[in-house]
Structure 1
Amino acid sequence: MLLAELRANSTKSRVLALLKRSGGSTVDDLTRLLGLAPMTIRQHLTALQRDGLISAREVRRPTGRPHFVFTLTADGEETFPRRYDVLAEMILDEIAFLRPRDLENVDAAGRRRIVLERVAERTAAGYRDRFDGKALSERVRLLAELLQEESGFAEYESTEKGYEVRDYNCVFHKLARSDSEVCHWHLTLMRTLIGADVLHDRSIWAGAECCRFLIAADQRTGKEPGRSNDALAVSGKASPRQVN
C-alpha cells in the first residue's frame, strides 16, 4: 500500500494511530474505540497485515477462546512522521561552523556529542522569542505544541509534582535505536527550550509505548499549580486540543 493511499484512507490511518498509542490492541478494543462493526475492523486489519504494516499475536485467556493482539511492524512504524532529513541538514550546517580546535583531543563519540549539542543550542535559539519570559507552565505547553508539530502524537498533563510530557512517535526512530546521542540531543533541546531540567524516564527505543519526560514544578519559578485534571492530548491532528 502506498503511503499516499494509506493517508487517504482515514479508517486504516485511525487503526494505525490507535495501535501506535496503545502498543497493541484487540478487535474488541478497536471496535469500541472506533465505533465500527467487528467485521469492518477485521477487514481493515486483514488489509494492513497483507501490506506488512501490522502483525498479530495470539494471547490465551483463562476461559474462552484465545484472542489476537495487533501491533505495528517496523514498516508500520515508518508510516508515521519522520524527520531524518531535517536532522541531517542541521548537522551539515553545524559542521560548517566547526573550527579545528573545537575537535582537538576529542574522540569520535565526543565529536558526535559536540555537533549534536550545538545543533540543539542553535535550534533552541530559533524559538527563544516564543519561550522567553513565560512561566514554566506556559513553556511546557509550548514544548508540547512543538513536539506535536513534529510527531503528531504528543501530550502533556499537570501532576502533583509538576508536568508529564509524553510523545508516542519518535521522529528519529531508527537513529535513536542505533545511537543514544540522538536522544541526548533531543533532551538537551527540550531542557534548553524550557530552561529547566527534564527527566527522560521512558523510551520508545527501549520498548516503552512512549517517550515520557518529567518536569518538576519547583524549578526557576515557584508559582506552579498543583495537580490538574486537564491534559493536552493529540491524535494525529495538526494542532493540540484541550481535553478533560
Structure 2
Amino acid sequence: MSDRTKTRLLTTLKTSGPQTAADLAKREKVTAVAARQHLDSLAADGLVEFEDIKGGVGRPKRLWSLSSRGHAQFPDNHSGLIVSLLDGLRDLYGPEGIDQLIAHREAATRNAYTSALEGKEHLRDKLQALAEIRSREGYMASVTETDVEGSYLLIENHCSICAAATACQGFCRSEMELFRSVLGNDVLLTRTEHLLSGGRRCVYRVEQAA
C-alpha cells in the first residue's frame, strides 16, 4: 500500500470516525487482509489504535481509530507558537487583551465570510459556502441534511486552532457568534458535538427559525 493510500486511511478515520478493517478496505478498494496489514503498520508507528467491541455471537468487532499522534498529523496552525503568544499577551495585557484579540479576529473573519456568502439565499447554499471556506482554513467541514426538513448539520472533523481554543475557550464562543452573524438572525444554531468537550468533532445543527 502506498504512502498516499495510508494517508487516505488516516483521513477516513479522521473524517468518519472509528472503522473496521473491512469497512476501510471497501472504501480503499483493497482486500481486508491488506487493510489489516497496513493498519498494523500504522499502529506500529503509533498513528492508529483499536478497540475490540463484543457483540452477540462470534468474534468481537475490532474498531480502528486515530491515536493522539494520528490526530497530530493534521494541521494545527503551529499550536506551540500560538499558545506561547497567547500566554505572552495575557501576561502583558491581562484577560482584556485576549478579549480584544478575539474580537478583532472575529470582525476580520466576519468580513471574509460575509463576502463568501454574498448572493446565497437558501440556507443550504449559505452553509455549503461556509463549509468550503472553513475547509480551506483546515477545519475539514461538510454539510449534511437531517431528517427534519430545512434542518442541516455543519460538521467540522478537525479544529485547526485547537491549541488556541484549548488555551482560551473564548475562541469557541466567538465562532458560535460568528456563525450566527453570517448565517442571519432568522437561523437557529446549536452545537451538538464539541471537540474540546471530549467529542470526536464539532457539529452544529442549523435550521431556519419559525
TM-score calculated relative to the size of structure 1: 0.69
Structure 2, unaligned stretches of length 5 or more?
Answer: none
How far is the alpha carbon of 1:127 from its aligned partner? 4.0
- Distance in structure 2 (CA, Å) of the matches to 1:158 and 1:30: 24
Cα separation, partners in 2 of 1:68 and 1:127, compared to 1, 3 Å: closer
Asked if the contact 2:195–2:202 (Cα under 8 Å) also holds between the matched residues in 1, the reply is: yes
- Distance in structure 2 (CA, Å) of the matches to 1:158 and 1:148: 18
Q: Does 1:57 align with 2:51?
A: yes
Following superposition of structure 1 onto structure 2, how do residues 201-216 of structure 1 map, counting pairs within 5 Å?
201-216=192-207
Q: 2:130 aligns with which of 143, 155, 163?
A: 143
| 3-state SS of paired residue (2:137) | helix
| 3-state SS of paired residue (1:126) | helix
- Distance in structure 2 (CA, Å) of the matches to 1:57 and 1:158: 30
Deviation readout 1:165-213 (Å, 9 max, x if unpaired): 1111111223334432221122233233333453222112223232111
Higher relative contact order (CA 8 A, sep 6+): 1
- State the identity %: 24
- Distance in structure 2 (CA, Å) of the matches to 1:186 and 1:49: 34
Following superposition of structure 1 onto structure 2, how do residues 3-152 of structure 1 map, counting pairs within 5 Å?
9-84=3-78, 88=82, 108=95, 110-137=96-123, 138-151=125-138
Counterpart amino acid of 2:111? A
| 3-state SS of paired residue (1:165) | strand
How far is the alpha carbon of 1:55 from its aligned partner? 1.2
RMSD of aligned alpha carbons: 2.8
Asked if the contact 1:136–1:217 (Cα under 8 Å) also holds between the matched residues in 2, the reply is: no
Asked if the contact 1:163–1:217 (Cα under 8 Å) also holds between the matched residues in 2, the reply is: no
Deviation readout 1:2-60 (Å, 9 max, x if unpaired): xxxxxx72211111112112321121221222221122111211121111111122222
Q: Does 1:168 align with 2:157?
A: yes
Between structures 1 and 2, the one with greater helix share: 2
